Structure 1
C-alpha cells in the first residue's frame, strides 16, 4: 500500500504528499543546511528517518480523519540507535534526540515519560510496516564531524550537546519548510522567504556606509577626528583571523558605527553569511535598528524582539497572512538581524522547535554583542561557553562591544575556568586606556547619603539634570515628592510606561535638552542602556561600577561642557535599601575606590569585574548548574536539553504583559484580535511596543477587579491581556498596578 506524509484535498489521494517523497526532500534540505557545519551526513540521516513512524496503519488512518493518537517520532530514533555502532554512536544519539524532538521539542536523556531513554525502551518495532525498508536506505557510517574537540570531558560534553542542537535546528527547519512548501502549492500561495545573500549585498552596504560617514565628516570637530581614528583602526583589523574580539570604546567614541564597519569589512574578507547585532534591552533596539536601516536600507534589516511570548503561537496558524519579516523571525534568513540578548542566548539553549530552528543560520555569522557586560552573571559561564563554541566550530566571529569590558579574557581566570575566552591580542580599538583619557567627559563625586529631599534640592539648583535610582518604587515616590513642591520640567521614565510611550518621552527630553528648557528626569536604570541623552549633571544611586559608568555616559555625552563641571554624583539612598544582588556590587565597587584614581578607566573596570567574578565564584557564574547537566562517558550521552531550556532564562521574574491600547495603532490591533484569520504572531508584533510588564499576581488582581481582560479568549486564549480601566495608566507615570484592588469610577458609571 502507498504511504503518505501529509493529506491533501482529493478523495483519490492524488494530491497527497508521499511519505518517501517527504523524507527524501527533508533529508536533502537538512543536509544542505548542515553541510557548511560539517554535519551534512548526520542531518541527512535525521531527515530521512524523522517520520519513520508514519509507516504504520494507525498513522495512515489518522491522515484520513480517524481520531487516533500516534507517536510517529520514536521509530526513527529507535532505528538509528539500533543501527549505528562504534565512534559514530555519539552522533547517533544526537540524531535520536533531534528526531524525538522534531515536534514536541528536544527531550532530556532520562527523568520523565517524555525522555529519550523511556521512549526508546517503550517502542514497539512490530508496529512498523516492513515496506519502509524498500523505500529508505542510508549509509550509517562516518558521521563524526571534524571539529576542534576539547581535551576535557566537561567541555567535550558541552560541545557535543551544542552539536545536537545544530542538528535539531537543521532538521526542524527543513521539515517545516518542506511541509510549508507542500501546503503552499496545494493552496496556490507562495510565501516569500527569499532574501538576497549578505555577500551579494556587501558592495551596496559598504557604499551606503561610506556615504553615511562622508556626511558626518562634513562636520569637523576634535571628537569627530578621534571617532575617525577609532573607525580607521577598527577597519584595519578586519583581515584578522575570524573568532573572538573585544571592542572597548568609551561612550561617545562611535562604537556602534565602528562595529558595523568591522562587520561589513570582515564579512567581505572572510565570507560570513549574515550580521547579527544583539542588544541587551528592547528599550534601545529601535534606536540601533534605525541607524542600520539608514545605512543599509530598510528592506535588508530584520528587527526581531517581542514583549509577548511567541512560543504560545501556533506557527502554522493563518499561513497566508504572515509577511516576509514574520517568516524571517522563524529562521533568521535575513542578511542583517537586530535582536536582543534574550532572543539570541535563549535560542542557543532552546529545546522548542520555534526558537531552535534559527540556530543553523546563526552559524557563519558575525555577532556583535552590544553592552556585553549585561549578560546575567548567573548565566555567564554557559553563555560564554556557547560563544566560544560558535567561534571554535561554527565559523562565527563575535565582538564583545562595550565601554565597560567585562574582563572575560582567560588570563583573568584560573586555567580551564568556564567563563574564560582566548582574547589575547584581539582588541579592535586603538589603545583603550588612551581613548578613555581622551574621551573622559565627567567627574565622579561621592556624596554619601541623600534622601529624597536632598535630591529635590539638588535638582532645584539644576535646570537640567538626571537622577537614576534602583527601583520603580523609589523613582515614583521621588517624582511625586518633586511634583508636590512644584519643581518644573519634571519627567518620570520607567518601565511602567510602554515602549512606544517611552520613545515619545525620550524625544521630548532630547528636544528640551537642545532648547535648554527645564528638564529634570527621574528614571530607573533603563535610561543607562545606551539611551542617547546628554545631561549636564547626573545623580546615580549606588550600584555596580558598570552601572555607574553607564550612567556617566548620559552626562556631557557630546563633550560640549568642561569635564570638571559635568558632575556624576554617586549617593546612597537610606530609605530605599538596594536588593542583595546590588549590595554585593556596591561593595565590589567600593574596593576599587582606593586602588584606582580614575574609576572609569578600562583598568578599573576590568579589576571590578575580576572582583565580582572572584566573589561570585564558579558556581555563582553558573547559578542554574547548566553546564553540569551535559555529561558524557564511554557509554554515551546524558543531556538534559529540556530542563536546561526551562532554566536558561535571561530575565528571571514573574512578570507578564499587559497591553495599553491608548494609541490608534494599538486600538486597531486590539480590534483585529477578533478576526480569526489574522495570526496571533502578526498581532503580537504590532502590539509589542504597547506592553507593560507587571508582576503576575498584580495582573491577576487587576483581572479580578475588571481592570484587565483577555481579549477574544475563544480565539486567542490567554495570550492578550488588555488594560480596561484607562485611568490606571497615567500620562506622566505609566501603569499603576498597585491600585488594582479598587473599583474605578468608570466601572461605577451606568
Structure 2
C-alpha cells in the first residue's frame, strides 16, 4: 500500500483513498460553476507525486519510528501537473489546473513573469523526474485507467468551452473592453484559476482533517423559515414612537417586497439610522428561500461593526441550547497569523476548535470584514483563496460599501461582477452614501436600487442641517474650543469628530479644565475594550442627563455606532464621512432638525491622508455650491457628484498602482505577447504584492484593566495552544501603532518585548497609557 498521511492516532491513510476522496470533494465543489470534471482533475492528480520512492521512504520511516532522516518527502506537487501536460495539448484548459496542482502547498504561480523573459511555470513543467513514467503508470493502475482519464479530460474540455461562452456573454453585458483575444483569456484565467485552486485546497484540507479526526466533517444547516419567523416577530415588537420609527417600518416592508428579484447587483441606500441592517437581513432571508441560495454573508469595513451587529442578530435569531447560526470571522475572534506556515508545524498541533469552519466559510450566516473578502480573490495566502467556492450561490451584503479603499475599487468591481454574473450570487451594496461604482473606468452596471423613490425617502429621513462654517484661514484648536463653549450654552451634549488622533487629543487636553462638562474621548489610540467601555459610559451619560456631555472622537464613531447627539461638529473631510457624522446627530428624530457644523481645522496634518485631503477639497466646493443653490448636500445628486469627482481625482490609482504597472493589470491584462501556456498574466506576483491595507504598523498590548493580567500570563506560558488563546484574548487590549509612534515610545523606554519562541509580543508600560485618551505619545 502506498501511504498518503498518518493521523494523530497513528492510523494510515492510503494514497489511493486520499486522491479519490479529494477528487470527489473537489469535483462537487467545482460543479457549482459547471466545472466538475475540471476540478476533479485537480483533485485526482494533486498528490500523485507521493508515489515517489523518496516520499514513501519518508512516510514509512515516520510510521515506524515517528521521525525521518529526510527533511521532507520531496516535491510531490509537480508530477501531477506534468502528467496532465503530457496527456493533453489543450493549454487553455490544463494551465489553470496545473497551476492549482503545483501550488497547493505554496502559492499560485505566474503564467508569465512580469519583469523577466524567464518562465518558472515552464521550467517546472519540464523539470526532469526520473520516476515520472513509473508514477504515471501507478496512477493509471490505482486511480483511473487511461481511457477513463482521457474521458474526464474530454468532459473537462466541454466544461471549459461552455464556461468560456458564458464568460464572453457575461463580459458583453458588463461592457468589459478587451483589446485582444489574449486579454480576454487573461481576464478569464484569474477567476477560473482561483476557483479551481479554492476547490482543490478545501477538498484537500477537509479530507486530511476528516482522516486525522477519524470522522467525516458534517455541516448542519439552519431552519431558514424559523429564523425568518423570529426576525419578523422581533420587527413586529418594535414600538412606533415617532416619524423615524414609522419610516423605518415602512422601508423594511417595502424592501422585503423586492426579494423575488433576480440574482444581480443591488443597492440599498437608506439614510443613516434608517434600519439598513435588519432590513437587509429581512430581504436576504426571503430572497435566499425564494432562490435556493446557500448562505448569507455580511461584509463590513470595521471589526467594531461586526461585534455590534453579531450581538444584535444573535439576540434575535438564537436561543439558549441551540447551535449558534452566525460565524464571526475577524482577527478579534480567531488568529489567522498563527497558523500560516503549515510546513513548519505538526498538523493540528494547535488547531482552534472552530478553525476548520473559519478557513472555508462553510457556514450559513457569516460576518466578516472587507479585508477578508478582498483577500479571498486577490491575496496570495491559501487560507484566503480556500473560501472562494463558498461565495457561489450566496447572498453577500456589503455594509458601508463606501469604505472600500480607493486603490482597491477596480478589483472590488471585478469581484462583484463575477459573483453576480457567473456565480449566481446576489450582491447588496448597503450604505447611506452610495459610491458611484458605475463611474470609474473598470465600472459596474448601475446597481438596481431596492428603495423606491429614493430622493423622497432621503428628504423624509432628514433630521439634520449641514452648516459649513467656511473661513479662509480655517479654525484652530482654540477657535473650535470657544465655539464649543458657545454652543454648550444651548445644548446638553456635543460630538466633535477630528480627522487625526493628534487633533482629537489636543482638543481634549484643551477642554479638560472645564468642570461644567463630562469630557469623553474615542480614538484608535485606545484599545477595543477601552473604547467599548467609553461608549457605554457615554450612552449612560447621554441617557441620564446629570451633566452636559462633550465627546471628542476620530472618525471611528461614524460607522456602525448607534448613538445620538444634539449637535455635531465635523472637521472638513469627504462628503461621505460628513454624512456618516450627521448620522450621529438627532439619529432617532428626537427633535425636528439639528445642526451639523463643518469646519476646516487649520492645525490638522492630513498631508499623508490623501483621501481625506482631496475629499475635503471636493466637499468644500460642493458644500458651498449647495448652500448657494439651497440644495441638500447629503442628497443623492450631491453624493454622486462627490464620488465622481473623487474618482476622477484618483484616476489610475483606483487600479492599485505598483511601480510602472498596477495590480489590476498584472491580474487581468498581463503581457501583450502570447505566453507559453497561452495565458500571459502574473497571478502570483499580483497576489504577493496585494494588501488591502498597507501593513505599516505594529501591535502592542496595553495595560488597560485585564490587559496587564494577559501580559503576566504571557510571561509564564510556553505552549503554542495557550499562546494562541492568549493572543485571541489580547486583541481586546491591543493598539496598532504607526512605525514613527513605535519609535517615539521605544526612545523613552515605554515598550517592552516579551520573547515567545521565535515570536515577540510588544507590551506598553503602564505609565504610557492614559485612562482618557489611551496611548500617551507626546
Question: TM-score, normalized by length of structure 1?
Answer: 0.89
Secondary structure in 2 matching 1:651: coil
1:58 to 54, 57, 60: 54
Offset, 1:57: 1.1
8 Å CA contact 2:753, 2:761 repeated in 1: yes
User: Is 1:538 the equivalent of 2:576?
Assistant: no
Secondary structure in 2 matching 1:93: helix
User: Is 1:498 the equivalent of 2:527?
Assistant: yes
8 Å CA contact 1:317, 1:679 repeated in 2: no
- Once the two structures are superposed, what CA deviation does each residue of 1:255-310 show, in whole Å capped at 9, x if it has no partner? 11111111100001101111111111112221111122122217111111116961
Offset, 1:404: 0.3
CA 1:567–1:699: 2 relative to 1, 3 Å: same
CA 1:215–1:720: 2 relative to 1, 3 Å: farther
2:599 to 553, 571, 580: 571
Bigger mean CA deviation after superposition, 276-285 or 119-128: 119-128
Secondary structure in 2 matching 1:168: helix
Secondary structure in 1 matching 2:27: helix
User: Is 1:79 the equivalent of 2:83?
Assistant: yes
Q: Which residue of 2 aligns with 1:616?
A: 650
Bigger mean CA deviation after superposition, 474-483 or 289-298: 289-298
CA 1:589–1:662: 2 relative to 1, 3 Å: closer
Q: Which residue of 1 aligns with 2:759?
A: 718
User: Is 1:659 the equivalent of 2:706?
Assistant: no
Offset, 1:639: 3.4
Offset, 1:652: 1.8
8 Å CA contact 1:669, 1:683 repeated in 2: no
Q: 1:443-458 residue pairs with structure 2 within 5 A?
A: 443-447=465-469, 448=471, 449-458=474-483
User: Is 1:132 the equivalent of 2:139?
Assistant: yes
Distance 2:683 2:407 in 1: 18
Q: Which residue of 2 aligns with 1:313?
A: 339
Bigger mean CA deviation after superposition, 206-215 or 63-72: 63-72
8 Å CA contact 1:158, 1:627 repeated in 2: no
CA 1:364–1:511: 2 relative to 1, 3 Å: same
Q: 1:696-735 residue pairs with structure 2 within 5 A?
A: 696=739, 698-699=741-742, 702=745, 707-714=750-757, 717-718=758-759, 720-723=761-764, 725-735=765-775
- Once the two structures are superposed, what CA deviation does each residue of 1:597-616 show, in whole Å capped at 9, x if it has no partner? 11010111011111112222
Offset, 1:618: 4.0
Offset, 1:206: 0.3
1:380 to 409, 426, 429: 409
Secondary structure in 2 matching 1:266: helix
CA 1:196–1:17: 2 relative to 1, 3 Å: closer
Offset, 1:539: 0.8
Distance 2:401 2:495 in 1: 24
Q: Which residue of 2 aligns with 1:122?
A: 127
2:45 to 46, 49, 63: 49
Q: Which residue of 1 aligns with 2:682?
A: 640
Distance 1:129 1:575 in 2: 73
Q: Count how many residue pairs are aligned between Structure 1 and Structure 2.
A: 712
Distance 1:408 1:622 in 2: 16
Bigger mean CA deviation after superposition, 371-380 or 158-167: 158-167
CA 1:104–1:571: 2 relative to 1, 3 Å: same
8 Å CA contact 1:659, 1:692 repeated in 2: yes
Offset, 1:229: 1.4
CA 1:398–1:317: 2 relative to 1, 3 Å: farther
Offset, 1:641: 2.6
Offset, 1:684: 3.5
Distance 1:574 1:665 in 2: 37
1:438 to 446, 455, 460: 460
8 Å CA contact 1:376, 1:650 repeated in 2: yes
Secondary structure in 2 matching 1:419: coil
Bigger mean CA deviation after superposition, 550-559 or 293-302: 293-302
User: Is 1:528 the equivalent of 2:528?
Assistant: no
CA 1:58–1:618: 2 relative to 1, 3 Å: same
Q: 1:400-415 residue pairs with structure 2 within 5 A?
A: 400-409=429-438, 412=439
Offset, 1:591: 3.2
Q: 1:165-564 residue pairs with structure 2 within 5 A?
A: 165-185=194-214, 194-197=218-221, 200-216=222-238, 218-297=239-318, 299-306=324-331, 310-314=336-340, 319=348, 322=351, 324-409=353-438, 412=439, 417-423=441-447, 426-447=448-469, 448=471, 449-461=474-486, 462=488, 463-484=492-513, 488-516=517-545, 517-563=547-593
Structure 2 spans left out of the alignment, 5+ residues: 62-67, 173-177
Secondary structure in 2 matching 1:275: strand
Secondary structure in 2 matching 1:520: strand
Offset, 1:483: 1.6
- Once the two structures are superposed, what CA deviation does each residue of 1:494-551 show, in whole Å capped at 9, x if it has no partner? 0011112111111111111112232211111111112111011111111111111111
Offset, 1:350: 2.4
CA 1:242–1:446: 2 relative to 1, 3 Å: same
8 Å CA contact 2:19, 2:43 repeated in 1: yes
- Once the two structures are superposed, what CA deviation does each residue of 1:359-409 show, in whole Å capped at 9, x if it has no partner? 111111110001111111111011111111011111111100000000223
Secondary structure in 1 matching 2:58: helix
8 Å CA contact 1:466, 1:538 repeated in 2: yes
Offset, 1:122: 3.0
CA 1:351–1:9: 2 relative to 1, 3 Å: closer
1:102 to 94, 104, 117: 104
Distance 1:58 1:471 in 2: 58
Secondary structure in 2 matching 1:567: strand
8 Å CA contact 2:717, 2:723 repeated in 1: no
User: Is 1:606 the equivalent of 2:632?
Assistant: no
Secondary structure in 1 matching 2:233: helix
CA 1:418–1:56: 2 relative to 1, 3 Å: same
CA 1:317–1:234: 2 relative to 1, 3 Å: farther
Distance 1:472 1:567 in 2: 24
8 Å CA contact 1:322, 1:682 repeated in 2: no
Offset, 1:311: 3.2
Distance 1:669 1:209 in 2: 41
Structure 1 spans left out of the alignment, 5+ residues: 740-750
8 Å CA contact 1:629, 1:640 repeated in 2: yes
Offset, 1:674: 1.8
Q: Which residue of 2 aligns with 1:92?
A: 94
